[in-house]
Amino acid sequence: MKHRGLEEISAHRLTEALARTPNAHYVIWTGHPCASQPGSLRARALACVREIGVPVPLRTVLQRAANLEAAGGLDPDSVRNAFRMHQLAQPAVCLLVERLASNDYVAVTDIPSPAAMRGRIAAGELVIDARTGPRFACLEMAVSA
């Protein structure tokens, strides 16, 4: 199967995409492998998150993806959509979360099958408590690794 190739992402295009991306959106990789087709846009986008158990600003991930190689990168809007769609994956290994003013992190959308968990995470549900840390075993293992 032929996957979408890299494309040249202009500074203007990246700036516009970053402006449409909420400052408070972060991605947390559980450290578990992603079940996706090697070389697919989603696989390449998810691979831009290298930190395990650490909230990484979605804007940072978009910048990494836009500059994958000297030859180009991945379209920021497609990358953002890949993370949103990944929340429905079985299992979801990258959690899209929102950082609140309290420094707590909550799920942006429903995550029916988060990696290494029983049950689901509902949109708005607390994922990381600023005072006590991760609420789910899949993140506790990642944070301690």
pLDDT in tens, 89-115: 989 999 999 999 999 999 999 999 988
Per-residue pLDDT tens digits for 73-88: 888 998 999 899 999 9
Q: Which of 117, 108, 122 is nearest to 142 (CA)?
A: 117
End-to-end CA distance of the chain: 35
Q: How confident is the model at residue 142 (pLDDT cuts 50, 70, 90)?
A: very low
The answer to whether residue 144 scores a pLDDT higher than 50 is: no
Instruction: Answer yes or no: is 6 within a domain.
Output: no
Instruction: Answer yes or no: is 24 within a domain.
Output: yes
CA angle (42 as vertex; 111, 62 as ends), nearest 5:
90
Q: Which domain holds residue 67?
A: 11-144
Instruction: Answer yes or no: is 1 within a domain.
Output: no
Phi, psi for 31 (deg, rounded to 5): 95, -5
Structural domain count, the chain: 1
Q: How confident is the model at residue 141 (pLDDT cuts 50, 70, 90)?
A: very low
Instruction: Answer yes or no: is 31 within a domain.
Output: yes
Per-residue pLDDT tens digits for 9-50: 888 888 999 999 999 999 999 888 887 777 777 888 888 999
Q: What is the average pLDDT value for the chain, to the nearest integer?
A: 85
